[in-house]
């Protein structure tokens, strides 16, 4: 996202514009406000040009006529001041550190870390800057990668290191840093046919132990649940710069569908930067609703929360293709969900010997082994 990086001055000016909107209104005798796009599934739309989902035109006005919104405005000012300080002093802080620092902000204090994360995103959206510009780091874990891929990463001392994700790493793989832009990470070379993103650590370890990366000539990336921005960004770069297809292997439940959507179509929370994070050509490999019956997988009943989530997906613009409607309806009809590891019912090698080869042939026309 190098091209989007702002200079210090640009960033500070953009932040001041937010404070300026509040101040201007107060000078006119009006309650201060901040204007933001609505950040929910009701306000994301497919962008034909970018091939991803972006925020639509719906705006929400956060003005100081309710206590909650007034708190938000004051917090935004505190955060702005804090960011300015960091930009000046060339320091950076994690989102969590900012949350703790807010303890000293009196009425501007955050109630939870979720609030501080959301506000950082709000400011990204209204200023058009990225949190990297604000010198804010996530403390979320980046993903782990194993496979025959070679990166060049600039370390803390500013030296470039060459790392092969098969030969130069241990069993836990290569840890993806939070900044994966070209100033920090370069994609050198690879010898893989596709990249497989895996939802759970247990399955990632199973595939590593079974040597699936070499067997199938692929890279394995562990998503750790809902993938972090850097994880999505690195997949996007692998896909774009190397032309390597991305396949996604998750549990069969409503939350897994959302993980895939955030990789392929763009996440609702980060729709302002979908074009940098989403990989539109990513393929959902499984586990599909139909697999629960086709493979007679051990399954659990859908909980009421699961059912709610599936119903919500039916009105999510990202799931309006026939394939997704069928997936969701079938899961609702079965009333069941299944974990990746339920494949172990047929032995530890079943996933690598049978299930994945079948799926890869079916979805990508790839023949393994």
Partner 1 sequence: MDKAKRIANKQKQISISEFFEKNKHFLGFDTHQRAVITAVKEAVDNSLDACEEGRILPEIHVEIKRLEGGRLELVTQDNGPGIPRDSIANVFGKFLLGSRFHAIRQTRGQQGIGITGVVMYAQLTTGSTTTVLSKIETESTAVRVDLALDTKNNRALKSNEERIPLEEWFEESGMESHHGLRIRTVMAAKYQRGRQSVHQYLRMTSIVNPHATIRLRVIGKNGEIIDEGEWVRTTNKLPRPVVEIRPHPHGMQFGTLQRMLKNTKERNVKSFLTKEFEKVSPLVSKKILGHAEIDEKRRPSGLSVEGIQDLLSAFMAVKIQAPPTDCLSPIEELLIKKGLEKAIDSRYAATVTRAPTVSQGNPFQVEVGLVFGGDLPSDGSVEVLRFANRVPLMYQQGGCLLTKAIESINWRPYGLEQTGGKGVPKGPAAILVHLASTNVQFTSEAKEAVADNEEVHAELRRALFAVGRGLQSHRKRVGQRQKSRDKFDLINKILPEIASKSSSMLGRPKPDLSPIITKIMNAVFCEEETIWNAKEKLAICSIKIYNYTARARAYTIIAKWPEGEKISIIHESMKGQRETIGLRKWRLDAINPGKMAEITFSVGGLGQGDWKEAEVFFRGSGEIIGCEKLDEVLVKDMKRQESLKEMVEDFEEELENHHTPNENVGHVNQISDQVEDFGGDFSKWVRQGDE
- How many residues of this chain bind partner 1 (CB under 8 A)? 27
Asked if 268 and 321 count as a contact pair (C-beta separation under 8 A), the reply is no
Q: Is 35 in the site for partner 1 (CB under 8 A)?
A: no
The only residue of 2, 29, 170, 367 in contact with partner 1, by rule CB under 8 A:
29
Binding mask 36-75 for partner 1 (x = CB under 8 A): ----------------------------xxxx--xx-xx-
Which residue number, 34 or 356, has a Cβ lying nearer to partner 1?
A: 34
The only residue of 1, 11, 14, 22 in contact with partner 1, by rule CB under 8 A:
22
Q: Is 104 in the site for partner 1 (CB under 8 A)?
A: no
Among 122, 134, 132, 137, smallest CA distance to 271 is for 122
Which residue number, 106 or 365, has a Cβ lying nearer to partner 1?
A: 106
The only residue of 4, 26, 189, 305 in contact with partner 1, by rule CB under 8 A:
26
- Work out how close the CB of 27 gets to partner 1 at its nearest, in angstroms, rounded to a whole number: 5
Which residue number, 135 or 166, has a Cβ lying nearer to partner 1?
A: 135
Among 348, 344, 343, 346, smallest CA distance to 359 is for 343
Q: Is 163 in the site for partner 1 (CB under 8 A)?
A: no
Which residue number, 14 or 195, has a Cβ lying nearer to partner 1?
A: 14
- Work out how close the CB of 19 gets to partner 1 at its nearest, in angstroms, rounded to a whole number: 5
- Work out how close the CB of 62 gets to partner 1 at its nearest, in angstroms, rounded to a whole number: 12
**72-101: contacts with partner 1 (CB under 8 A):** 73-74, 77-78, 80-81, 84
Q: Is 307 in the site for partner 1 (CB under 8 A)?
A: no
Cα–Cα distance between 360 and 79 in angstroms, integer? 47
Cα–Cα distance between 299 and 288 in angstroms, integer? 12
- Work out how close the CB of 359 gets to partner 1 at its nearest, in angstroms, rounded to a whole number: 48
Instruction: Find the DSSP H helices in the chain.
Output: 8-27, 67-89, 95-101, 113-127, 201-209, 212-215, 229-242, 254-264, 274-277, 289-294, 304-314, 322-334, 350, 356-364
Q: CB-side exposure of 205: number of CA atoms within 13 Å?
A: 7
Cα–Cα distance between 150 and 356 in angstroms, integer? 25
Cα-based torsion angle of the residue sequence 55, 57, 62, 68 in order, rounded to the nearest 10 degrees: -50
Q: Is 367 in the site for partner 1 (CB under 8 A)?
A: no
- Work out how close the CB of 39 gets to partner 1 at its nearest, in angstroms, rounded to a whole number: 22
Which residue number, 66 or 362, has a Cβ lying nearer to partner 1?
A: 66
- Work out how close the CB of 127 gets to partner 1 at its nearest, in angstroms, rounded to a whole number: 14
Q: Which of 100, 107, 276, 295 is catalytic?
A: 100
What does the buried/exposed string (b/e) look like for 229-255 if buried means 16 or more CB atoms within 10 Å of the residue's CB? Answer: bbbbbbbbbbbeeeebbbbbbbbbbbe
Cα–Cα distance between 234 and 253 in angstroms, integer? 25
**Phi–psi pair at 11, nearest 5 degrees:** -65, -50
Q: Is 305 in the site for partner 1 (CB under 8 A)?
A: no
The residues facing 190 across adjacent strands are 149
Cα–Cα distance between 239 and 246 in angstroms, integer? 7
Asked if 334 and 292 count as a contact pair (C-beta separation under 8 A), the reply is yes
Q: Is 136 in the site for partner 1 (CB under 8 A)?
A: no
- Work out how close the CB of 355 gets to partner 1 at its nearest, in angstroms, rounded to a whole number: 46
**Has 100 been annotated as catalytic?**
yes
- Work out how close the CB of 95 gets to partner 1 at its nearest, in angstroms, rounded to a whole number: 21
The residues facing 196 across adjacent strands are 220, 247
Which residue number, 84 or 97, has a Cβ lying nearer to partner 1?
A: 84
The only residue of 7, 8, 13, 20 in contact with partner 1, by rule CB under 8 A:
20
Query: Would you give the distance in Å from CA 230 to the centre of its chain?
Result: 7
The residues facing 300 across adjacent strands are 337
Q: Is 183 in the site for partner 1 (CB under 8 A)?
A: no
Q: Looking up tokens 């929360």, which residue turns up? A: 305
Catalytic positions, please?
Answer: 100
Rule CB under 8 A: which residues touch partner 1? 16, 19-20, 22-23, 26-27, 29-32, 64-67, 70-71, 73-74, 77-78, 80-81, 84, 106-108
């Amino acid at each position: 996202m190098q091209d989007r990086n702002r200079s210090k001055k640009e960033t500070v000016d953009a932040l001041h514009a937010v404070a300026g909107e509040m101040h201007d209104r107060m000078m006119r005798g009006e309650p201060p406000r901040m204007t933001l796009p609505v950040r929910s599934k009701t306000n994301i739309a497919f962008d034909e040009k970018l091939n991803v989902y972006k925020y639509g035109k719906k705006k929400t006005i956060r003005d100081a006529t309710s206590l909650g919104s007034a708190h938000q405005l004051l917090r935004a000012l505190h955060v702005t001041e804090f960011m300015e300080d960091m930009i000046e002093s060339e320091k950076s802080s994690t989102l969590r550190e900012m949350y703790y620092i807010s303890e000293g902000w009196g009425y501007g204090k955050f109630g939870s870390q979720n609030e501080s994360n959301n506000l950082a995103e709000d400011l990204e959206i209204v200023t058009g800057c990225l949190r990297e510009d604000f010198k804010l780091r996530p403390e979320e874990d980046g993903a782990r990668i194993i496979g025959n891929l070679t990166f060049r990463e600039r370390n803390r001392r500013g030296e470039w290191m060459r790392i092969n994700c098969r030969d130069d790493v241990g069993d836990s793989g290569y840890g993806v840093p939070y900044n994966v832009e070209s100033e920090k990470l370069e994609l050198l070379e690879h010898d893989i046919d596709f990249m497989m993103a895996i939802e759970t650590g247990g399955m990632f370890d199973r595939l590593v132990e079974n040597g699936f990366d070499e067997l199938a000539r692929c890279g394995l990336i562990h998503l750790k649940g809902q993938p972090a921005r850097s994880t999505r960004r690195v997949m996007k770069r692998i896909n774009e710069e190397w032309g390597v297809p991305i396949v996604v292997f998750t549990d069969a439940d409503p939350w897994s569908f959302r993980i895939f959507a955030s990789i392929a179509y763009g996440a609702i929370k980060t729709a302002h930067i979908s074009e940098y994070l989403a990989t539109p050509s990513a393929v959902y490999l499984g586990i599909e609703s139909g697999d629960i019956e086709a493979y007679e997988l051990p399954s659990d009943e859908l909980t009421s929360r699961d059912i709610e989530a599936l119903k919500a997906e039916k009105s999510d613009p990202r799931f309006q293709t026939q394939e997704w409607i069928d997936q969701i309806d079938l899961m609702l009809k079965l009333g069941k969900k299944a974990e990746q590891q339920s494949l172990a019912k047929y032995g530890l090698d079943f996933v690598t010997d049978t299930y994945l080869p079948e799926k890869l042939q079916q979805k990508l026309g790839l023949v393994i082994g």
